[in-house]
Amino acid sequence: MKILITGANGRLGSALCDRLAGTYRVIPLVGEEAPGVHVELTRWGEVHRAVEHFEPDFIVHTAAWTDVDGCARDPQRALHVNGLGTQYLAAASGARGVPMLYVSSNEVFDGTSAQPYREYDPTRPANPYGYSKWVGEQALIRHNPQHMIVRTAWLFAHGGRNFVQTILNAARAGQPLRVVRDEVSNPTYADDLADAIVQLIGTRCWGTYHLTNSGAASRFTFAQAVLEAAGINVPLEPITLKEWLRPSTPPPHAALANVAAAALGVTLRPWQEALRAFIQREAEQHA
């Protein structure tokens, strides 16, 4: 079985390549800045030819423009990369009867619910990034019946730029830490997400899934846990979303509930446990 993985040089994509390579023949597609096989996903002709040439048995689409503030500054590019790029891949895979898994985001919800969102709750994206990911979801549903949509949230990974490393770098540099207390979601370790996706692929049960480490936290609570796990004691000031000016408007309460995957036996450990494992491995890698 051949599995084509887009964004294979990304943190989630590379973790998936590592895990799937032992069982399947992996075809990694990378971004243009990385060495390897590159396909411009925003060009229909290239996408169509790539799917015909590689003849995959399954496609995992992790590639995306994930700069949320960048998407707010340039919503047309966000729509083109995340929306139309996914549509082209969905159309090409659907035409050949190739199943496809698409990694989406909690930001397809507006964050106004007091309860964690379930897989089939109404989606109302509140910013250009969320809208572009929602467009990708809709395109996949329409073009390829053999699909899996995996929504995740607040991903942190080794070697990447993410919230955990931002907090640690600022704390170690002695910079003041002001963190939002009224934005809530699910911190998620990329390695755990990759393991869960591998399990999900094995079920061959098409549909929409929420895969995050279990439990939810505010950005402020998450930052507190990061500092505690790293053994760093610095002042941490809670602020509100209104005080943190940025181009994008994040959903304030967009925690996800894993209902569908859990029913298949696919679950992830609590985010606190995952964070401690991440911090420990970071320390080992830099020892």
Sheet with 207-210, side-by-side order of all strands: 37-38, 25-30, 2-6, 58-61, 100-105, 147-152, 207-210
Q: CA-CA distance, 124 to 109, in Å (whole number)?
A: 5
Q: Where are the beta strands (DSSP E) in the chain?
A: 2-6, 25-30, 37-38, 58-61, 100-105, 147-152, 155-156, 177-180, 184-185, 188-189, 207-210, 217-218, 236-239
Q: CA-CA distance, 169 to 232, in Å (whole number)?
A: 11
CB 97 within 8 A of CB 51: no
Q: CA-CA distance, 107 to 137, in Å (whole number)?
A: 12
Active site residues: 129
Query: Within 13 A of 45's CA, how many CA atoms are on the CB side?
Result: 0
Residue 186 contacts by C-beta under 8 Å, 6 or more apart in sequence?
A: 106, 152, 153, 154, 212, 213, 214, 215, 216, 217, 255, 256, 271
Residue 208 contacts by C-beta under 8 Å, 6 or more apart in sequence?
A: 119, 120, 137, 148, 149, 151, 260
CB 249 within 8 A of CB 75: no
Return the SS3 of 12.
helix
